[in-house]
Copies of this chain bind each other. A is one copy, B any other.
Amino acid sequence: MQWVKVLGGLVGASALLGLGIILGHFAIPKGADAPAPGVSVSQDLDLEILESVMKQLDASKIRENLRELSREPHLASSPRDEALAQLLLQRWRDPESGLDAAEAPTYEVLLSFPSREQPNRVAVVGPTGTVLFSCRQSEQNLTGEQGGPDVVPPYAAYAPPGTPQGLLVYANRGTEEDFMELQTQGIRLEGTIALTRYGGTGRGAKAVNAAKHGVAGVLVYTDPADINDGHSSASQTFPNSWRLPPSGVERGSYYEYFGDPLTPYLPANPSSFRLNPDTVPGFPPIPTQPIGFEDAKILLCQVNVSVHNRLELRNSSNVLGIIRGAVEPDRYVLYGNHRDSWVHGAVDPSSGTAVLLELSRVLGTLLKKGTWRPRRSIVFASWGAEEFGLIGSTEFTEEFFSKLQERTVAYINVDISVFANATLRAQGTPPVQSVIFSAAKQIPAPGLDGLSIYDNWIRYFNRSSTAYGLVPSLGSLGAGSDYAPFIHFLGISSMDIAYTYDRSKTSARIYPTYHTAFDTFGYVDKFVDPGFSSHQAVARTAGSVLLRLSDSLFLPLNVSDYGETLRNFLQAAQRDLGVLLEQHSISLGPLVTAVEKFEGAAAALGQRVSALQKDTPDPLQVRMLNDQLMLLERTFLNPRAFPEERYYSHVLWAPRTGSVATFPGLANACSRAMNTSLGSAAWAEVQRQLSILVVALEGAAATLRPVADL
């Protein structure tokens, strides 16, 4: 999983050498659309099956999965990444525990790698060019796993090659404010090398900000204060604790957008049109290199940075497997995670893939025994090249845009399944809140006798809901993992599920060995989740959510819960922007009306669902209601709302730069209008964004009303 990002584009992904089979061609016998004979069109969630699945999800099997998955580094498109694609295929084609069908199609995507022949180098040089000190070019081999030829040296993917040399300037987190502050202090930035620390802004954004001030090169290190709760000595760090060793370096993608950089909005098939790599937007403008804190603290004076990264077109595989629905095979519940890692990737992403494989094993076994077949189709996905920018998942959504948009019930993402073992943490759009709550209430929290996952969760993350009182708080979805194209580009209700930290015990920005060569099986087994009970808890939670979505007669998507979000956004707008808008004669009245209409329509729909559930509804009545529930999220898409924000079309969850926690189009337009001298044009854009929003909410309400209302 990616380090949390709310705006901007620092995302990562990786790719597999692929098989080249074009997606969409699973061998399927003719007439396979038909429900199996004897299937009831009223088939509903079977609680015994659910219980049985929960029991069968096995922590020791997840541990074995993880051991195998993280045994070797499996950088996107590497031979080991491809071997893991084959392992997944083999599991999903297993006659005893496999799925109905599985394939591993590939895309040809642009990745970035350091040169083997000319390693990237960071050195302190004297006035005559003598090298006074060189940074490490790889991490220290502490467990015997950091030394092999497949451990990619630390680098900033997509940073351009170059060998800038200049005075070193410490630029904190490399935000625009940080560079402004340096200028205010009279520090000349032109031609310097900026030393920045991870956090505060996107990876690529540091170089973008630096270049604006004439900086020639950027170094990025992980500060012990940010990652290790201040600890930095060898004895206090891995392999003696879960903390990052002094030589550890966070790798990552420095590309601003996501998807294959050469084929925006097009699948990266061999025949697809490709941009010229020399003119592609979104790459860092200047050479950039990540380093460890051990080196960072030594750097002084004149620094020479040599970056020799190369762009390469590579084949990257997704692996897809399907369990065909018995009753509504044309409704898809998608469950995915990426497969590629920066090095061994035991936590990121193999902890998620280990869970995915255990879940598919248990369901596949029920399927092959003939005990069970879901009402709707379940699609499992192992995405390639996520670390380079969510590439595999994005290309998939570009290729099957219409089909996925028409038929997908929800997308479940489990990337890093266990950051730490304190509590569940979930992100998602409002319609999935209720189904995650239902699942979490029925599963015991590991190690806490009698407490459910829900009861434990609410102790760590909670909020006061007007509808329900105190509930666990669901985070919102940025673009940190493969859910991004599903929610932002396709408008599919999405979620991300994991176990995570007790924040009273650590303030680490993310688990310390993130994107380093120390993220290994031993690290997980010893420090992150000994016994794998948190992995099992995530498997059960995600598995229960999956089954509820695939098997329930009525889709467990509570669209009314969107009302609360809209109301909160509206109140923030009224409170923090109301006076300002009034000064410019812009009324929030139509927005108030639209929110009220939405709430009314959603509540009435909820009542119709309840009434029908007490009845014996005919299958078409159920289908019609479910279509309303499934398609609600789509009504918030407007591909013309933010044309400059690539892929972002969701008017409620697009990136927000303004400080007010409200509708992003409105917040951003207000923020621009206040900070520019554009005057009336900028305020007209505020009006336009408000209208776009009102039309989307009114349109959403219209889809929730009785279907024979016009």
Known: A273-B688, A643-B643. 7 other contacts (CB 8 A): A23-B710, A41-B618, A273-B684, A399-B698, A399-B702, A619-B619, A639-B639
A272, B691: Cβ atoms closer than 8 Å: yes
Q: Chain B residue with minimal CB distance to A329?
A: B708
A320, B624: Cβ atoms closer than 8 Å: no
B631, A398: Cβ atoms closer than 8 Å: no
Instruction: List residues of chain B with CB within 8 A of the CB of A328.
Output: 620, 624
Q: Chain B residue with minimal CB distance to A696?
A: B402
Instruction: List residues of chain B with CB within 8 A of the CB of A634.
Output: 402, 406
Complex alpha-carbon distance, A330 and B634, angstroms: 17
A273, B28: Cβ atoms closer than 8 Å: no
Instruction: List residues of chain B with CB within 8 A of the CB of A407.
Output: 707
Query: Number of copies of this chain in the oligomer?
Result: 2
B710, A24: Cβ atoms closer than 8 Å: yes
Q: Give residues of chain A (367-410) contacting chain B, Cβ–Cβ below 8 Å.
A: 377, 379, 398-403, 406-407
Complex alpha-carbon distance, A100 and B30, angstroms: 42
Q: Give residues of chain A (685-710) contacting chain B, Cβ–Cβ below 8 Å.
A: 687-688, 690-692, 694-695, 698-703, 705-710
A406, B708: Cβ atoms closer than 8 Å: no
Complex alpha-carbon distance, A621 and B707, angstroms: 21
Instruction: List residues of chain B with CB within 8 A of the CB of A329.
Output: 624, 706-708
A624, B708: Cβ atoms closer than 8 Å: no
A589, B35: Cβ atoms closer than 8 Å: no
Assess whether A128 is interfacial by the CB under 8 Å rule: no
A703, B403: Cβ atoms closer than 8 Å: yes
Complex alpha-carbon distance, A587 and B699, angstroms: 42
A621, B710: Cβ atoms closer than 8 Å: no
Assess whether A324 is interfacial by the CB under 8 Å rule: yes
B706, A611: Cβ atoms closer than 8 Å: no
10 smallest beta-carbon distances between A and B, as pairs: A330-B707, A271-B590, A273-B691, A329-B708, A402-B635, A324-B708, A273-B687, A639-B639, A273-B688, A330-B624
Q: Which residues of A contact B (CB under 8 A)?
A: 23-26, 28, 30-35, 41, 100-101, 103, 263, 265-267, 269, 271-273, 276, 320, 322, 324-325, 327-330, 377, 379, 398-403, 406-407, 587, 589-590, 604, 607-608, 611-612, 618-621, 623-625, 627-628, 631, 634-635, 639-640, 643, 684, 687-688, 690-692, 694-695, 698-703, 705-710
Instruction: List residues of chain B with CB within 8 A of the CB of A640.
Output: 265, 639
Q: Chain B residue with minimal CB distance to A330?
A: B707
Given A32-B708, A706-B28, A708-B325, decide whether A402 and B631 contact each other with a Cβ distance below 8 A. Answer: yes
A608, B31: Cβ atoms closer than 8 Å: yes
A620, B623: Cβ atoms closer than 8 Å: yes
Give, as a whole number of angstroms, the nearest-CB distance from A497 to chain B: 23
Instruction: List residues of chain B with CB within 8 A of the CB of A377.
Output: 707-708
B708, A608: Cβ atoms closer than 8 Å: no
A402, B699: Cβ atoms closer than 8 Å: yes
Q: Pick the contact of A623: B320, B399, B623 (CB < 8 A).
A: B623
Complex alpha-carbon distance, A407 and B704, angstroms: 13
Given A707-B33, A707-B329, decide whether A695 and B272 contact each other with a Cβ distance below 8 A. Answer: yes
Instruction: List residues of chain B with CB within 8 A of the CB of A25.
Output: 709
A266, B695: Cβ atoms closer than 8 Å: yes
Complex alpha-carbon distance, A610 and B304, angstroms: 72
Q: Can you list 25 A-B contacts with CB-CB less than 8 angstroms, sorted by A residue number?
A: A25-B709, A28-B709, A30-B607, A30-B706, A33-B608, A33-B625, A35-B620, A263-B691, A266-B692, A271-B590, A272-B691, A273-B684, A273-B688, A324-B708, A325-B708, A327-B620, A328-B620, A329-B706, A330-B707, A379-B710, A399-B699, A402-B631, A406-B631, A619-B619, A623-B623
A627, B706: Cβ atoms closer than 8 Å: no
Complex alpha-carbon distance, A639 and B707, angstroms: 26
Complex alpha-carbon distance, A269 and B273, angstroms: 41
A33, B708: Cβ atoms closer than 8 Å: yes
Q: Chain B residue with minimal CB distance to A700?
A: B402
Complex alpha-carbon distance, A587 and B270, angstroms: 12
Give, as a whole number of angstroms, the nearest-CB distance from A259 to chain B: 13
Instruction: List residues of chain B with CB within 8 A of the CB of A31.
Output: 608, 611
A699, B619: Cβ atoms closer than 8 Å: no
Give, as a whole number of angstroms, the nearest-CB distance from A587 to chain B: 7
B589, A271: Cβ atoms closer than 8 Å: yes
Give, as a whole number of angstroms, the nearest-CB distance from A331 to chain B: 9
Instruction: List residues of chain B with CB within 8 A of the CB of A271.
Output: 587, 589-590, 691, 694
Q: Chain B residue with minimal CB distance to A328?
A: B620
Instruction: List residues of chain B with CB within 8 A of the CB of A710.
Output: 23-24, 26, 101, 103, 320, 322, 379
Q: Pick the contact of A699: B100, B403, B612, B708 (CB < 8 A).
A: B403
Complex alpha-carbon distance, A607 and B701, angstroms: 39
A708, B322: Cβ atoms closer than 8 Å: yes
B699, A400: Cβ atoms closer than 8 Å: yes
B621, A620: Cβ atoms closer than 8 Å: no
Instruction: List residues of chain B with CB within 8 A of the CB of A694.
Output: 271-272
Instruction: List residues of chain B with CB within 8 A of the CB of A698.
Output: 24, 399
Complex alpha-carbon distance, A329 and B608, angstroms: 15
Q: Chain B residue with minimal CB distance to A323?
A: B708
Instruction: List residues of chain B with CB within 8 A of the CB of A590.
Output: 269, 271
Instruction: List residues of chain B with CB within 8 A of the CB of A34.
Output: 612, 621
Q: Chain B residue with minimal CB distance to A271?
A: B590
B403, A32: Cβ atoms closer than 8 Å: no
Given A619-B619, A684-B273, decide whether A33 and B624 contact each other with a Cβ distance below 8 A. Answer: yes
Give, as a whole number of angstroms, the nearest-CB distance from A275 to chain B: 8
Q: Chain B residue with minimal CB distance to A692?
A: B266
